[in-house]
A and B are shown apart, each in its own frame.
Chain A
Amino acid sequence: MSSNKVLLRVEKLVKHFPIYQGIIVQRQVGAVHAVDGISFDIHQGETLGLVGESGCGKSTTGRTILQLPNYRPTAGSVEFGDLDLVHLKGEELRKTRRKMQMIFQDPYASLNPRMTVGEIIGEPLVIHNVARGKAVQERVENLLELVGLNPAFENRYPHEFSGGQRQRIGVARALALQPELIICDEPISALDVSIQAQVVNLLEDLQKQFNLTYLFIAHDLSMVRHISDRIAVMYLGVIVELTGRQELYDNPLHPYTKALLSAVPIPDPLVEEQRQRVILKGEIPSPVNPPSGCRFRTRCPIAESICAEERPEWREVGSSHFVACHLVKD
């Protein structure tokens, strides 16, 4: 269960990727506004879902939190426990990384095809000097068993496994160093429906067993609602709404959240018959040149003139219900 202790605090996080032009003399001509000032907390033992469409900056958010190379934040702060990750460097950052791990989307691209499963899962243990020799092998076998794979598989190569099994290997690797926070970056999008449920159940079981904290990034709102305690909805680099899983469904406030909820198909023909869809016009604008004011205004069914002029403030409108929209009443 989630506690009140804040494990991760993200404050006004900004990540811009510069765009250069010129062959000999390069100068910056613009920037991709991938993440543009987002704030949220994650409590110990909780799952925060981060949902949004492709290109909205949700994966960049995950990578920027972990301070991956090329993903150091442009501005803002990321506090993990009492550590300020943005200003950590070198050895200190490396040590902190033990406590934060990531599971990637593509189980075909995120495992080195030339390493055996044992080497893949054991590598973090060796790099961080946690175990050596026989102890590594024992730990690898434990981990394989933990994620539901046969420990005898440790000498096999990734190509011998199916997508779902590979994703289990990715989970085992992430667990190797007993992290506190795991960032799951679309861990099930590449898998078949019946396999998705296997991996989600595994993630839920492991969370209970080890009191893990998840940031679960996905575009599938039904799955996010299934696994998360709270949900943040992201659109074009900003979080537009953040609240509990129940409140988000019962009382969505932001027009984008409403549209997203209504666009998700429900596997029940009787429910589908009754549903009224909000069909958004147009498509997601380019993050190189995002709209002025509210990012969503170009597709918003209720936008007014103020939406083009001012950026809506990120504010709390109910208990733990945050929204960024001019037209939502307090």
Chain B
Amino acid sequence: MPNKLLSVQGLETHFQTREGTVHAVNGVSFSLDEGETVGLVGESGCGKSVTMLSMLRLIPSPPGKIVNGSAVFRGQDLLKMTDDEIRTVRGSQISMIFQDPMTSFNPVLTIERQVAEPLEIHLGMSKEQARDRVVELLELVNIPKAKERLNDYPHQFSGGMRQRVMIAMALACNPQILVADEPTTALDVTIQAQIVELIKRLRDELGMSIVWITHDLGIVAGLAQRVIVMYGGYFIEEASVKELYANPLHPYTMGLLGSLPRLDLDEKKRLTSIDGLPPVLMEKPGYCPFAPRCKFAVERCWNENPQLSEIAAEHRVACWVDPRTGRAR
């Protein structure tokens, strides 16, 4: 039995805006085992990034507010820590890489300064010690001629190279958990393949756990052991990767998979699109958030919001209907 590294329970995050309260994350729970990779999948605005940012207390407050929940990491609740305490965890034991490698660096600091920062802050290294470690880290992420590039600025690196530097920075203190927020979305497909391969290799070498946030069900298929699908601020399906793709049980997951063209399919098949638009999160609906777009919706879906419940081994779904039969569960 692998050890549970992180356990998030009932996490709920709101944003106060002039138009009202945005219910970005509505009571989500998940756990992460040691060495495990979990894919958190959903479309823009579904709350996948906010979930992870809330856990790390990176939500700007105001307007954001974590209303409820706990996030226990190695026996301590991240959400109850003081600001100083969480700072010792963030960037050292749990670190994060972001989507846009163009805007996530400080443009006026050299690469050495930026990668060395966590080393000096968390590990108390001197500048000289840090420099050697920075070179090691840059070599670890396959930056050619790492030593000569220490004094370069971020704009002198290409997108793919910047993402490598970001990974080096995230790995500086040997984190146990790496949160990857769409790290390859801004990159070309051949560069994406390089980065995914790199992260897989590092994961196996360093034995860290990864939460990979993405909208691309394709990437997750080859990377994660477990997948969580998110919609409108809720987790709506969670299963092991093989189970989810072979046997999706939420109409939204089925729709998502059907709307992806597959490179390896020979016949031209019409894509099954999901009609309608993603929900606006201004109110917490008393019904299933997917009901307005769902072709299986029955009366109950409009009266009660289904909870995530286990319906097969390692497979949890939040849906009143069994889409295989079209009948209520």
- From B158, B161, B261, A225 is in contact (CB under 8 Å) with B261
B275 lies within 8 A of A54 (CB): no
List of B residues within 8 angstroms of A246 by Cβ: 266
List of B residues within 8 angstroms of A280 by Cβ: 190, 193-194
A277 lies within 8 A of B193 (CB): yes
A246 vs B266: C-alpha distance in the bound complex, in angstroms? 7
A269 vs B263: C-alpha distance in the bound complex, in angstroms? 14
Map CB proximity to B onto A102-118 as digits: 1 under 8 Å, 0 otherwise: 00000000000000000
Query: A194 at interface (Cβ–Cβ under 8 A)?
Result: yes
- From A260, A267, A279, B260 is in contact (CB under 8 Å) with A267
- From B193, B217, B275, A279 is in contact (CB under 8 Å) with B193
List of B residues within 8 angstroms of A259 by Cβ: 190
Q: Which B residues between 265 and 290 are near A, CB-CB below 8 angstroms?
A: 266, 268, 270-275, 277-278
Q: How far is the CB of A230 from chain B (nearest CB, A)?
A: 13
Q: How far is the CB of A223 from chain B (nearest CB, A)?
A: 5
A266 lies within 8 A of B271 (CB): no
Q: How far is the CB of B203 from chain A (nearest CB, A)?
A: 16
- From A197, A200, A225, A264, B189 is in contact (CB under 8 Å) with A264
A261 vs B264: C-alpha distance in the bound complex, in angstroms? 9
Query: A219 at interface (Cβ–Cβ under 8 A)?
Result: yes
A200 lies within 8 A of B271 (CB): yes
Select from chain B the residue with minimum beta-carbon distance to A162: B277
List of A residues within 8 angstroms of B241 by Cβ: 269
List of B residues within 8 angstroms of A23 by Cβ: none
- From A201, A227, A249, A284, B273 is in contact (CB under 8 Å) with A201
Q: Is the interface of A mostly helix, strand, loop or mixed?
A: helix
List of A residues within 8 angstroms of B190 by Cβ: 53, 259-260, 263, 280
A222 vs B216: C-alpha distance in the bound complex, in angstroms? 12
Query: A298 at interface (Cβ–Cβ under 8 A)?
Result: no
- From B158, B189, B245, A221 is in contact (CB under 8 Å) with B189
A264 lies within 8 A of B277 (CB): no
Q: Which A residues between 271 and 313 are near B, CB-CB below 8 angstroms?
A: 271-273, 275, 277, 279-280, 283-284
Tell me the number of A-to-B contacts counted with CB atoms below 8 Å: 128
Query: B160 at interface (Cβ–Cβ under 8 A)?
Result: yes
List of B residues within 8 angstroms of A222 by Cβ: 218, 260-263
Q: How far is the CB of B278 from chain A (nearest CB, A)?
A: 7
Give residues in A with beta carbon < 8 Å to B: 53-54, 162, 164, 192-198, 200-201, 204, 219-223, 225-227, 246, 249, 259-273, 275, 277, 279-280, 283-284
Given A164-B277, A221-B189, A249-B263, are A269 and B160 also a contact pair (CB < 8 Å)?
no
List of B residues within 8 angstroms of A261 by Cβ: 263
Given A221-B189, A269-B222, are A193 and B194 also a contact pair (CB < 8 Å)?
no
List of B residues within 8 angstroms of A220 by Cβ: 189
Q: How far is the CB of B59 from chain A (nearest CB, A)?
A: 23
List of B residues within 8 angstroms of A275 by Cβ: 222
Q: How far is the CB of A178 from chain B (nearest CB, A)?
A: 25
Select from chain A the residue with minimum beta-carbon distance to B184: A265
Query: B66 at interface (Cβ–Cβ under 8 A)?
Result: no
Select from chain A the residue with minimum beta-carbon distance to B44: A192
Beyond contacts A198-B274, A268-B264: 17 other A-B pairs, Cβ-Cβ < 8 A, are A53-B189, A53-B190, A193-B217, A193-B260, A194-B256, A201-B271, A219-B189, A226-B268, A249-B263, A264-B218, A264-B263, A265-B196, A266-B264, A271-B221, A271-B264, A277-B197, A283-B161
Query: B242 at interface (Cβ–Cβ under 8 A)?
Result: yes
B275 lies within 8 A of A198 (CB): yes
- From B192, B270, B275, A204 is in contact (CB under 8 Å) with B270
Query: B199 at interface (Cβ–Cβ under 8 A)?
Result: no
Map CB proximity to A onto B221-262 as digits: 1 under 8 Å, 0 otherwise: 110000000000000000001100110000000011111111
A194 lies within 8 A of B43 (CB): yes
Query: B188 at interface (Cβ–Cβ under 8 A)?
Result: yes
- From A223, A265, A279, A283, B219 is in contact (CB under 8 Å) with A265
A197 lies within 8 A of B274 (CB): yes
Q: Which B residues between 36 and 52 are near A, CB-CB below 8 angstroms?
A: 43-44
Given A222-B263, A267-B221, are A197 and B271 also a contact pair (CB < 8 Å)?
yes
List of B residues within 8 angstroms of A277 by Cβ: 193, 197
Query: B86 at interface (Cβ–Cβ under 8 A)?
Result: no
List of A residues within 8 angstroms of B14 by Cβ: none
Interface centre among B161, B188, B245 (most CB of A within 10 A): B188
A260 lies within 8 A of B259 (CB): no
B158 lies within 8 A of A283 (CB): yes
Given A53-B190, A266-B218, A283-B158, are A225 and B197 also a contact pair (CB < 8 Å)?
no
Query: B215 at interface (Cβ–Cβ under 8 A)?
Result: yes
Q: How far is the CB of B267 from chain A (nearest CB, A)?
A: 10
List of A residues within 8 angstroms of B257 by Cβ: 267
List of B residues within 8 angstroms of A265 by Cβ: 196, 216, 218-219, 221-222
A201 vs B245: C-alpha distance in the bound complex, in angstroms? 23
The 10 closest A-B pairs by CB, nearest first: A272-B222, A265-B218, A197-B259, A226-B261, A197-B273, A263-B193, A197-B271, A53-B188, A194-B274, A198-B273
- From A197, A249, A267, A283, B218 is in contact (CB under 8 Å) with A267
What are 6 residue pairs bridging A and B, where the CB atoms are less than 8 Å apart in the complex? A266-B264, A268-B221, A269-B221, A275-B222, A277-B197, A283-B191
A195 vs B277: C-alpha distance in the bound complex, in angstroms? 8
List of B residues within 8 angstroms of A227 by Cβ: 261
A155 vs B161: C-alpha distance in the bound complex, in angstroms? 47
